[in-house]
Copies of this chain bind each other. A is one copy, B any other.
Amino acid sequence: MDKGIETREKILHAAMHMVRESGFDSLTIGETAKQVGMSKSGVFAHFESRDELLLNVIAFTAQDFKEQVFDKALQHKRGLERINALSRYWIKWSHQPSGGCPFMSGAFEFDDRPGVIRDALVKQEKAVHDIWERAAKIAVEEKEFKAGTDCKQFAFEIFGNLLSFQIYKRLLNDVKAGQMYSISFQNILSRYLK
A-side residues, CB < 8 A to B, are: 20-23, 25-26, 99-100, 104-105, 107-113, 118, 121-122, 125-126, 129, 150, 152-153, 156-157, 159-168, 170-172, 176, 180, 183-184, 187-188, 191
| CB–CB B25/A171 < 8 A | no
With beta carbons under 8 angstroms apart, the residue of B22, B129, B152, B153 that contacts A112 is B22
Which residues on the B side are within 8 Å of A109 (C-beta)?
Answer: 22-23, 25, 105, 108-109
Which residues on the B side are within 8 Å of A184 (C-beta)?
Answer: 153, 156-157, 160
| CB–CB A152/B171 < 8 A | no
Which residues on the B side are within 8 Å of A191 (C-beta)?
Answer: 187
Write the nearest CB–CB distance from A30 to chain B, whole angstroms: 15
| CB–CB B25/A26 < 8 A | yes
Write the nearest CB–CB distance from A44 to chain B, whole angstroms: 23
With beta carbons under 8 angstroms apart, the residue of B21, B22, B160 that contacts A163 is B160
Considering the complex, give the chain B residue whose CB is closest to the CB of A157.
B184
| CB–CB A112/B170 < 8 A | yes
- Taken together as a complex, chains A and B put the C-alpha atoms of A181 and B27 apart, in Å, by 33
- Taken together as a complex, chains A and B put the C-alpha atoms of A109 and B104 apart, in Å, by 10
A to B CB contacts below 8 Å, 18 in the list: A20-B112, A22-B112, A23-B25, A100-B112, A105-B108, A105-B109, A107-B171, A126-B172, A129-B172, A150-B183, A156-B168, A156-B180, A157-B161, A157-B164, A159-B164, A160-B160, A160-B165, A163-B167
Write the nearest CB–CB distance from A111 to chain B, whole angstroms: 4
| CB–CB A187/B126 < 8 A | no
Which residues on the B side are within 8 Å of A180 (C-beta)?
Answer: 152-153, 156
| CB–CB B168/A164 < 8 A | no
Considering the complex, give the chain B residue whose CB is closest to the CB of A187.
B191
| CB–CB A111/B171 < 8 A | yes
With beta carbons under 8 angstroms apart, the residue of B99, B104, B153, B167 that contacts A183 is B153
